[in-house]
Amino acid sequence: MDSTNPATNRPLESYEEHSPSKVDTMLGDAEAAFETWKHRPLADRERLLAAAADVLRANAREYAETMTRETGKPITQAEAEVEKCAWVCEHYAEHASAYLEPDHHPSPPGTTVKTVYEPLGPVLAVMPWNFPFWQVFRFAAPYLTAGNVGLLKHASNVPGCALAIEEVFREAGYPGGVFQTLLIPSDRVADVLADDRVEAATLTGSDRAGRAIASTAGEHLKKTVLELGGSDPYVVLADADLDAAASTGVWARNQNGGQSCIAAKRFIVVEAVYDAFLDRFVDAVESLVVGDPMDPETDVGPQARQDLLEGLHEQVRASVDAGATLVTGGEPLDREGVYYPPTVLTDVPEGCPVDTEEVFGPVAAVYRVEDEAAAVEKANDTAFGLGASVWTADRERGERLAGEVDAGCVYVNELVKSDPRVPFGGVGISGYGRELSEDGIKEFVNRKTVWLADEPDDGTVVE
């Protein structure tokens, strides 16, 4: 398993894959660890999670540099990612007890009825490379604290990140077997998921990968949570603050090199302000600094892999061939590394790749629509449903439109983002289930009903 620096396209390091026998041992370790970990007082698990936050902050620069070397993420964004991971650890360290407090229900006199939340067991997490620390910690922080144990199958191009995350939990004092990294290729995931010792799975990735995980999990009747791709609309109405909408929109599309499921991808602008918005947007796009991701002045680094750049460029070329207008960018940069410039397309024809597919790179499709109704119609003209952003000076109007846009989350006058305090997830082919907040920690628990009676009920119970 090899890692490559996309800023130079040169090899970084080679890692030995875990053999089937090694994986079998690790599954046994996870099963054994769960039998002890599930009985560990919740307060202890919270204290260990707070310690993980401390480890993250103490080694923030080291972890950020590992991310940048393996993915090309600009170093300032990598450092911010480590800090966000520490935040989610602190969030659940503070709130897990309240989230998992038993819920009491109405019951007959002399009885107590409640729902308690008990862990399921080993959970397999199949995670992507684009936010190689954050995606892992947003599953690990709640699920481990609920009493589950974790098995991480990370993307094959970020093995250094995968092992570093395992190190975080080890240095924080977690018992052996509670969190383990499996260095295996994707074609061995199905066998791990099918193993009787694995109770559930979560995946962040493409809809194709999600279908594969869901199929295997369904065959074995195992719970899954899937956060899949997105083609998020970014709706700009006539009364929007155009300066704010344009500057935020450029960041929403181009942070992390545009490689984000919740990046704004389809910019839908009403006719009355289309030209004014486009001028501001393109100026801001062209001012972005593309360069060495280790340079703190860099806004956009390389794409993560050569094959990803080639696929992105093919989407752009096919869309231009179909009639889209290339306003800026649109050609791989002639320099060392896997660099694609921030790109803007207009006059996007229906059915072309940037209109119907997820575009995982710094390419923005800008649409001109007649009015608010047409904007909502275009926003919903997609099989994806992860996030959406609506820009308007009228807060009530924004809230009304949030109810009309089909997505797992809608942000008004803000870019779409995940936040430990609120549930996160999608609809349609963007997946199902929720991460983060109280909903997230309760995804992989047994919601057990406990009925306590002082005396047996003399009545007849009918199911």
Structure tokens at 15: 């890692």
Structure tokens at 257: 């090199």
Asked if 353 and 318 count as a contact pair (C-beta separation under 8 A), the reply is yes
Partner residues linked to 369 by β-bridges: 270
Q: Would you please indicate which residues are annotated as catalytic (active-site) residues?
A: 227, 261
End-to-end CA distance of the chain: 54
Whole-angstrom distance, CA of residue 339 vs CA of residue 304: 9
Whole-angstrom distance, CA of residue 179 vs CA of residue 187: 22
Kindly give the interhelix angle for 42-58 and 60-71, rounded to the nearest 10 degrees: 70
Whole-angstrom distance, CA of residue 162 vs CA of residue 166: 7
Whole-angstrom distance, CA of residue 242 vs CA of residue 420: 29
Asked if 214 and 202 count as a contact pair (C-beta separation under 8 A), the reply is no
Rounded to the nearest 5°, which phi and psi values hold at 113? -125, 130
One-letter amino acid at 287 equals: S
